[in-house]
Amino acid sequence: MHELHHPAPASYLGMTAQEITQDVLQRHESPGRQFWTVAAVLGGLFGLGIIGFILLLSKGFDDRNVWGYYASIFAYIFTVAQSAILVSVALRMVKAHWRRPFARISELFAAVGLFNFFLLIPLLWVLPSTEGRRSIWFEWPGHSPHIWDTIALGLLVVLGLALLYFAAIPDMAAVRDHTTGARQRRYQRMAMGWQGTPHQWKVLQVGISVLGGFYFMFLIFTHMMISVDYAMSLVPGWKDAIFPAFHAIIGFQSAVAIMLVTMFILRWKTGLRRYLEVDQFWGLGKLLLALCLLWFYFWWSGFFTYWYGRQPAEQSVLKFLMFETYKVPFFLAFALCFVTPFVILMWNIVRKTTWGPVLAAIIVLVGTFFNIVRFYVPAFSIEDSTLHALENVPPANIPGVADILVIVGALAGAVLAYMLATRIFPITSIWEMKEGLLLQRVRTFMKIQIKVLAKPE
Amino acid sequence: MQERVKLSDARINRDLLRSIFETPKWYLILVGSLGLVVLTGFAAAGYMINHGLGVTGLNRPVMWGFFITNFVFWIGISHAGVMLSAILRLVQAEWRRPATRAAEVLTVFSLMTAMMMPLIHAGRPWRVFYWVFPYDFARGVYPNVRSALVWDPAAVFTYLTSSILFVYIALVPDIAVLRDRSTGWRHVLYSILSLGWRGSVRQWKLQLIAGILLSAVILPIFVSVHSIVSWDFGSAMAVEGWHSTVFAPYFVIGAVHSGVSAVVTVMIILRWMFRWEDYIRLEHLDALAKLLIVVATTWFFFFILEFIFGLYSLEGPEVALREMQVFEMPWAGLFITFLFTGYLIPVPMWMFRKVRRSIGLMLFTTILVNIGMWLERFLIIVPGLARKQGFTFTWGGYTPSAVEITIIGSTFAMVSMLVLLFAKVFPLIPIGDAKEGMILQDEIRIGKVTVPAVMREE
């Protein structure tokens, strides 16, 4: 009965529903001066990114190599932020109560998804037609990826925003009921007449489940399209059935990592200590450990089949992406996405802290960046994608000033989009926390305090 | 968990030990009949060994047929044990309790059956000793350690050893219960096997730690087994459709799909046979069906990846193979049957709560899955081999002979018989786990409603 070796019950369980509402709404109403200072700095960095983007634009769309790092940062934000919503979706599906304090933190990444959608637009001009080259679109018109990728990413963004909005309706009603003036009128419109009737609750639960399920499936589908159209199909000879699944695993891993880092910052800066406790970091730390192992397994499955096969075309791809041209980002990715976080997280004593999983998460996020770079930058550096196999391997593309400005600017823009979204939606899901109070009890069992969790149908 | 009932320790002992201390007539008839089928299978294998592989349908270029398909199938079924036992134990899924033992036992017996298949397929099973004791290096009669075919037995035997250990460790407290309730030679046997278990705090702690450690250690073995089986195919360059990077996870998740389905089938049959309605409840089938929806959909995604990237390069031989699989009879018929039985019928049905909580429909759908998954392995192995050669005049087909069909049929009887024999000696639902579940179950009152709850960490 190792269930009994349990950390102290979450302290928000000692609060009343009213206290939670007051606490969250107070935090939501007045973010403090520091918030706006950080937002201004991020706005400045985003401005630098726009300068970098103009520098890239001045070089035109004909040379794909120029846009390699731009494509990488687009793919990085897609991989990390748009997968982060999945953390709340998946944990809600398995009815894990410990998700409650960070469910909204995860869903707010939908705002970053919207920002990232705009980053896709220039890439549509850079992506070549599929005529004469391998693609998953086979005999479809040459511009199929341009059309369908845009629709897929657009729908994913809409699904993410719908999930965020839908799951926040009861909280917006709470804001409406605790405020006055223009703010009240605004939230009254946003709450869409929410009164908390049994019918409304039922619709809410069903809606969240359906939107979450669709988001899950659509995310995997979009991972497949983006990873193949913007990376694999541009490299002659790279025919790798596991790559879309590996890309999705990278997404899941970095999603858990970004959640840990975001939770740590919010806990530290916005005083969410009563909600975001060791339980939450421990739970996500275990997930991150499992995903590190899955990262290795998926990478190994793809690598091994190529390496063992000894086919010249496949050996060239291995040399290009892993062992020669882009060996530095590959080895960094291997060390930072698998080896180091595994060594950190394999110890329960480290997992069961707030800092241990976060340290591993930061390392994973850096590793994921290099991993994405080693897929997209090489893919964009191939001049002729219609070849059967790689004949002349182009040299590594080293980032220039414009690339660095674009990377910094895009990251700043993503964080800024997230911060601004927190001004609209409370960072903590009030109704889920209150539901948690109803469905969890702390009881004494054989002299120790233990949590009792209800699992309604 | 709406259907759960409060059961006393004495009632749990009585119910779960019934299969051991009572021998109804139907049990003897059933085991006897299964034994006859198994004997027929052994006779067919003996006949084949005596007359040579010529009595099978195997011929150039299709030298892997029913036996290897069945090998992969049973390896797949063996993945249920770890999935349900180790993973659900680690994530503390409360509904795992009645399913774990059956899943673990199924793992052990299906692994044993799986290992028989390559031996029979070899035609001269005694030659396996060349692998263990290579006698003549000069003639090159020794296994090539760089071949996935050699890693296979290493992985499978490691998995078998650890699975037996896993079953045994979990069994020790239950064997002690049996020891205290038996007499004569049974008492002696159970006394030896229970290793002096007295149920002290230290012993429970050790048993718990051993279970968790074994769960964690067995997971990589579980993944490696079917990955290596997949590399038997994936590392072969000469056969169209085999050299795919997605094969390892595709095989593993497919194995979990068929394995968990098989456990549900076994649980339903056991529930009916031993009247275990209070232990194997509809809520457990519901939870397992939900798990199966996720597993099946993940497997289907990998299937789509495998298929699309088979066509991706638009290379003539690969496209021709896929066309043959999908459009030419009899492959097309098998392909459609595989798609419908493996995914398109069961998964939409599991979406409905009524189906998930229907004994008959769950039995039907889980059997369908395993028909589909058997065909899936057949369709991976045989069509590729049939078109292995470059010239059309060297292409071939494959029709299994009566000998092969008899042997394959007998493997199903053998696993069923072994599970039933196990049930005669050890409880198929862990008694300790059932009692622990009773202690940990609780209720929370919210207004006028009482919601089932459980004491646990998350």
User: CA dist A331 to A245, A281, A412, B101, B129, Å?
Assistant: 20, 28, 26, 43, 43
CA distance B345 to B369: 9
Cβ distance B451 to A244 less than 8 Å, yes or no, reads no
* Structure confidence at residue B1 as a pLDDT band (50, 70, 90): very low
**What is the percent of chain B where pLDDT is above 90?**
41
- Residue B70 contacts residue B117 (beta carbons within 8 Å): yes
Chain A CB within 8 Å of residue B132 CB = no
Residue B458 has pLDDT above 80, yes or no: no
Token couple for A378: 């090489």
CA distance B73 to B254: 10
Distance of residue B92 Cα from the nearest chain A Cα, in angstroms: 8
CA distance B93 to B433: 12
CA distance A208 to B92: 25
Backbone phi and psi for residue B60, each to the nearest 5 degrees, phi listed first: -60, 135
- Residue B218 contacts residue B162 (beta carbons within 8 Å): yes
Cβ distance B451 to A97 less than 8 Å, yes or no, reads no
Cβ distance B249 to A457 less than 8 Å, yes or no, reads no
Which of B267, B262, B269, B259 lies closest to B285, judged by CA?
Answer: B267
Sequence-ordered alpha helix ranges (H) in A178-242: 181-191, 198-230
Distance of residue A241 Cα from the nearest chain B Cα, in angstroms: 5
List of residues 6+ apart from A72 with CB closer than 8 A: A369, A372, A373, A375, A376, A377, A407
Which of A194, A50, A457, A390 lies closest to B95, judged by CA?
Answer: A457
Query: Residues B344-369: pLDDT tens digits?
Result: 999 999 999 999 999 999 999 999 99
* Structure confidence at residue B132 as a pLDDT band (50, 70, 90): low
Dmax of chain B from CA atoms?
Answer: 82
Shortest CA distance from B304: residue in chain A: A241
Which residue numbers in chain A have pLDDT < 70?
A: 1-11, 456-457
Q: What is the pLDDT of residue A2?
A: 41
List of residues 6+ apart from A392 with CB closer than 8 A: none
- Residue B4 contacts residue B437 (beta carbons within 8 Å): no
Chain B residues with CB inside 8 Å of A302's CB?
245-246
b/e per residue, A241-279, with b = 16+ CB within 10 A? bbbbbbbbbbbbbbbbbbbbbbbbebbeebebebbbbbb
3-state secondary structure of A443: strand
- Each domain of chain B, given as residue ranges in start order, spans 9-431
Query: Residues B263-303: pLDDT tens digits?
Result: 899 989 988 988 888 888 888 899 899 999 999 999 999 99
Kindly report the number of other CB atoms within 10 A of residue B422's CB atom.
Answer: 19
Query: Residues A212-227: pLDDT tens digits?
Result: 999 999 999 999 999 9
Token couple for A429: 């899901």
Q: How many CB pairs under 8 A join A and B?
A: 131
CA distance B354 to A167: 28
Q: What is the dihedral of CA A350, A352, A355, A361, to 10 degrees?
A: 80
Sequence-ordered alpha helix ranges (H) in B235-281: 247-274
CA distance A301 to B227: 8
CB contact residues (below 8 A), chain B span 178-207, against chain A: 204
What totals of helices (H) and strands (E) does chain B contain, helices first? 19, 2
List of residues 6+ apart from B107 with CB closer than 8 A: B77, B78, B79, B80, B81, B82, B163, B167, B259
β-strands B441-446, A448-454: how paired?
Answer: unpaired
Q: What is the pLDDT of residue B135?
A: 63
User: Which residue carries 């997404």 as its tokens?
Assistant: A251
CA distance B115 to B94: 33
Cβ distance A242 to B440 less than 8 Å, yes or no, reads no
Give the residue, B316 or B340, on which the prediction is more confident: B340
User: What ipTM does this complex have?
Assistant: 0.90
Cβ distance A301 to B249 less than 8 Å, yes or no, reads yes
- Residue B83 contacts residue B11 (beta carbons within 8 Å): no
Q: What is the dihedral of CA A24, A28, A29, A33, to 10 degrees?
A: 120
CA distance A304 to A288: 24
User: Which residue carries 């809606």 as its tokens?
Assistant: A207
Residue B340 has pLDDT above 90, yes or no: yes
Cβ distance A457 to B2 less than 8 Å, yes or no, reads yes
Q: What is the pLDDT of residue A1?
A: 39
- Residue A316 contacts residue A358 (beta carbons within 8 Å): no
Residue B91 has pLDDT above 80, yes or no: no
β-strands A448-454, A440-445: how paired?
Answer: antiparallel
Which of B337, B398, B404 lies closest to B368, judged by CA?
Answer: B337
Distance of residue B61 Cα from the nearest chain A Cα, in angstroms: 21
Average pLDDT (B206-225) is: 87
3-state secondary structure of B387: coil
The CA angle B250-B94-B96, to the nearest 5 degrees, is 45
Give the containing element (helix H, strand E) for B224: helix B201-234
Paired strand residues for A440? A453
Q: What is the pLDDT of residue B136?
A: 64
CA distance A419 to A412: 10
In terms of Cβ atoms closer than 10 Å to its own Cβ (0-12, 13-18, 19+), residue B119 is: middle
Q: Which 8-state DSSP code applies to residue B86?
A: I
Average pLDDT (B98-117) is: 89
Chain A residues with CB inside 8 Å of B245's CB?
240-243, 301-302, 305-306
Q: What is the pLDDT of residue B453?
A: 83
Domain B9-431 coded CATH 1.20.1630.10: yes
Cβ distance B245 to A240 less than 8 Å, yes or no, reads yes
Shortest CA distance from A297: residue in chain B: B249
β-strands A448-454, B449-455: how paired?
Answer: antiparallel
- Residue A406 contacts residue A57 (beta carbons within 8 Å): no
CA distance A167 to A107: 9
3-state secondary structure of B257: helix
Give the residue, A300 or B62, on which the prediction is more confident: A300
> Which site among A135, A239, A301 would you substitute to test the B interface, given the most B Cβ atoms closer than 10 Å to its Cβ?
A301
In terms of Cβ atoms closer than 10 Å to its own Cβ (0-12, 13-18, 19+), residue A351 is: buried
Q: What is the pLDDT of residue A4?
A: 38
CA distance A6 to A415: 35
Q: What is the pLDDT of residue B140?
A: 65
User: Which residue from A5, A241, A445 is facing B244, i.e. has the nearest CB?
Assistant: A241
Chain B residues with CB inside 8 Å of A385's CB?
none
b/e per residue, B267-296, with b = 16+ CB within 10 A? bbebbebbebebbbbbbbbbbbbbbbeebb
